[in-house]
Structure 1
Amino acid sequence: MQQYLQHYAENDIALSEHLQGNWQQVICIPAFDEDQYLTNLLERLSQQETLLVILVLNSPDSKTDSAAEQATKEYATRLRNTLQPVQTIDAHSTLLQLNTQSSHILLLERYGLPASEAVGLARKIACDLACQLIADKKVSSQWIHSTDADVSLPADYFAAQPDATAAAAIYSFEHEDNPDPELNRSLRRYELGLHYYVCGLQWAGSPYAFHTIGSTLLLNAKYYALVRGFPKRAGGEDFYLLNKLAKTAAISLLDSAPLILSGRSSARAPFGTGQAVNKISRLSVKHEEYTYYHPQCFVLLKQWLQLIPALENQQDYEKLIADKSLRNCLRNMGTAKALLHAQTHSKNSAGFLRHMHNWFDAFRTLKLIHCLRDAGLNSVSLQELQSQQDEFGFIRSALSRRSGFNRE
């Protein structure tokens, strides 16, 4: 961890040296123009004992949303005026009393972040500082909670017990209902798509079968530092972080009540719920269907994953693959080169598998699914998906995650 903190962490970790206090747990929250959600979240967090909330109020350096930036700054002012200040570290970093049980908010105001890095950088600032506080023994838990302002946390959120050997753990989730019936319908389609993809990966035997939602993460500080923290991206930072973490240790699922995620539409982030709801709603207006990956994509993925162990001493892997589209997709991804590298750099079968699965990671898995789709396995409608649930158990598993789909 020290190497990461010394060479790769954000400069904000220097705040730890000046910060006065000790806490049992830490939670990291980036926020931009979300005061209506933050008020509720902080109220829930105020019920916790010895908790440090690292709140990074931020804005992108693009001038397209100056009103939102001003609203964020005004919220910071209200927060400082409402809560008792404990310590002013610098002009943009203030420790505030959250409750009488030794819980605090470390308010970091970081406006004008590069638009291309935005939320990823905001998450990294908070989690890097959390790492430093853990290293300095000012936070006793080795786990960093990562969530968002518009999430409703269950009562047992901090009581969840992660596997101590895991690189990260993931909370289960549901999206709250949207009061607009059409937007709510779109939201349910999107949530089904999330579960369907992960259920398909699980069925295929992928080691990357987990959700990648930044507001549902519990990060092991040791492994977070090992993979050099959150990527500084305007979107997808959660996906790429978990993709790296999964190559170091297990990603486990927490046994707790689900987090309730916001069901609002939004155009701010390039990925995620808000954009997906907007997209699905636009399709509905045009009387077009939102579609899901063809089940056969996961069948072919499973065939490939089951073949990998047999390739340790195999030079021509393509002759073992009957499906032409699968052969072409794997060839275009550079599989032959990756296979040769794994064979020449592995001392045993376990090492070979590790090399191959580190190469064929979450990103390449998604890339293969997209390639198979574009090669002719056209995506299917909800009705088509429902009609195949008896044939594919992973479809039934996905549909069962939310009630109502089998009645539409």
Structure 2
Amino acid sequence: MSGGTDTVIEKYLSLYALLPALPRFNQRWNHVMVVPCFKEHPDCFMRIPTPPSGQSLLVIGVLNRPETDPDLNANALLRHYVKENTSSSPLPGLTLCPLAPAVTLLMIDLEHIEGATPKSEGVGRARRVGCDLALWLIRQGHIESEWIYSCDADAQWPSHYLSQSWPSDAAGIALPFQHVVDSEAPLNQATLVYELWLHHYISGLEFSASPYAFHTLGSSCGFNARCYAAVRGMPLRAGAEDFYLLNKLAKMGQIFRPAGPPVLIQARASDRVPFGTGPAVARLMASGKPQLTPFFYHQNNFNALKQVLKCFPQWLTRQEPEIHQNLLRLLPEALADAATAQLLKLGLPKAIKHARSNSENVQQRERQLHTWFDGFKTLKFLNGFRDSTSGHQNLLQVSDSAYQPLTTEALCAMRDAMVSQWGWQLQQGAA
């Protein structure tokens, strides 16, 4: 690591890192992956990728239980597995277990060390502890790679991603992914509809030329160690911690989106987090008609966003930007009114003034404005605009499908067509 990188990481480790236990051992690994574990079955370790020949992987599992779950035996199965397969216990609450010849599990029993996780922090704290320990191990020379990989217990990475060389300007990576479905069961239907929503949203951001057009799943992403430290680590949130971290990392460098085979994610409804894939799938199943549930954005939302972003350079050159007047030339009056109202509510004029007064050239001004209008503000703009205009649409409306309802096979075909634009190579056997 360079001296500058060392300084950034040292500062983070000394001031902000959550390191409830620092193990001492002599082993070295090529790669590190963090997996939060709550109410999981030991079979989840069968999905850990085997590193390429001659390489090794340390998996940091973080056993946790949110205080919202009173079941003290929620993690009993994993605890029993770890106890039965222990090779050593560097510290109380930390256990090393061999999973395969080149794969080692370092299980942190966060529940044992700290007790139940605060409701407001949830899985964010589990990921934070795991990633912070990974960063410390990188700094200590126990991990060769400068990348921290993030996975979930229900996901399986293709092994070759462990040996990829990522772009030097990448702050993070967002990998292809695919939920595994194999029947017409309501769970599979709901999962596919939600996955299509995820892809529809990213496609809309791409259409709008947003710099925040990337997926944000904690099961299929990774972070450059220095950039992770520079943005002060994983947010302590009970949900969407992956979204907020990647959003911050995107301001440090690109979020690289490789083509290739997907991370395979098991389809399941879940209450482990308050929002995200699991709860969304559960709500779609409860609706009884996931394909008719309106939660997709109307194309008008992305049309408006595209025109807003197109106006940024022009607004930055004006002492008093004519936001509403400019949008009236590009959008129907009702949409221009709604877009203007949302931009004013978000504080765009103040952000423009700040970018103009704190940047030396046009490129810096645009970068600063896009840093302000980040993935979170983009989402707030789209939600506010949606609520004041066309509302939500359902899958059949955004797909213009003549078939009602769509079969699982048809939903998979729709998904395959959407992700082919990104070079994703989905596994047909996994549907």
TM-score, L = length of structure 2: 0.84
- 2:269 corresponds in structure 1 to 265
- 1:188 corresponds in structure 2 to 192
Q: Look up the equivalent residue of 1:50 and give its one-letter code.
A: S
Please state if 1:79 is matched with 2:87: no
- 1:406 corresponds in structure 2 to none
Is contact 2:85–2:98 with CA below 8 Å preserved after alignment?
A: no
C-alpha displacement of 1:138: 1.2
Map 1:213-292 onto structure 2 (within 5 A).
Answer: 213-284=217-288, 288-292=292-296
Deviates more, 1:45-54 or 1:250-259: 45-54
Is contact 1:172–1:258 with CA below 8 Å preserved after alignment?
A: yes
Please state if 1:100 is matched with 2:108: no
Q: Look up the equivalent residue of 1:28 and give its one-letter code.
A: V
Q: How far apart, CA to CA, are the structure 2 residues paired with 1:309 and 1:33? A: 50
C-alpha displacement of 1:287: 9.4
- 2:22 corresponds in structure 1 to 15
Is contact 1:46–1:98 with CA below 8 Å preserved after alignment?
A: no
Q: How far apart, CA to CA, are the structure 1 residues paired with 2:78 and 2:415? A: 40
Q: Look up the equivalent residue of 1:331 and give its one-letter code.
A: L
Could you tell me the percent identity over the aligned residues?
Answer: 34
Q: How far apart, CA to CA, are the structure 2 residues paired with 1:215 and 1:399? A: 20
Q: How far apart, CA to CA, are the structure 2 residues paired with 1:333 and 1:80? A: 52
Q: How far apart, CA to CA, are the structure 2 residues paired with 1:131 and 1:230? A: 12
> Any gaps of 5 or more consecutive residues in structure 2?
1-8, 329-335, 403-412, 421-431
Q: How far apart, CA to CA, are the structure 1 residues paired with 2:266 and 2:171? A: 26
- 1:342 corresponds in structure 2 to 355
Map 1:141-156 onto structure 2 (within 5 A).
Answer: 141-156=145-160
Is contact 1:29–1:53 with CA below 8 Å preserved after alignment?
A: yes
Cα RMSD, aligned residues only: 2.4
C-alpha displacement of 1:399: 7.2
Q: How far apart, CA to CA, are the structure 1 residues paired with 2:185 and 2:237? A: 33
Q: How far apart, CA to CA, are the structure 2 residues paired with 1:197 and 1:287? A: 16
Q: How far apart, CA to CA, are the structure 2 residues paired with 1:263 and 1:317? A: 48
Please state if 1:164 is matched with 2:168: yes
Residue-by-residue CA offset, 1:59-93 (whole Å, 9 max, x unaligned): 1133x340xx414134223222124x13x222101
- 1:392 corresponds in structure 2 to none
Is contact 1:294–1:378 with CA below 8 Å preserved after alignment?
A: yes
C-alpha displacement of 1:266: 1.5
- Choose the corresponding residue for 1:310, options 307, 314, 322: 314
Deviates more, 1:271-280 or 1:165-174: 271-280
Is contact 2:45–2:99 with CA below 8 Å preserved after alignment?
A: no
Q: How far apart, CA to CA, are the structure 2 residues paired with 1:34 and 1:40? A: 12
Is contact 1:189–1:290 with CA below 8 Å preserved after alignment?
A: no
TM-score, L = length of structure 1: 0.89
- Change beyond 3 A, Cα 1:199–1:351: same
Aligned positions, number: 388
Please state if 1:53 is matched with 2:54: no
> Any gaps of 5 or more consecutive residues in structure 1?
390-395, 404-408
Q: Look up the equivalent residue of 1:2 and give its one-letter code.
A: E
Q: Look up the equivalent residue of 1:19 and give its one-letter code.
A: F
Q: How far apart, CA to CA, are the structure 2 residues paired with 1:306 and 1:236? A: 28
Q: Look up the equivalent residue of 1:129 and give its one-letter code.
A: L
Query: Which SS does the other structure have where 2:22 is aligned?
Result: helix
C-alpha displacement of 1:135: 1.1
Deviates more, 1:48-57 or 1:130-139: 48-57
Please state if 1:90 is matched with 2:91: yes
C-alpha displacement of 1:372: 1.1
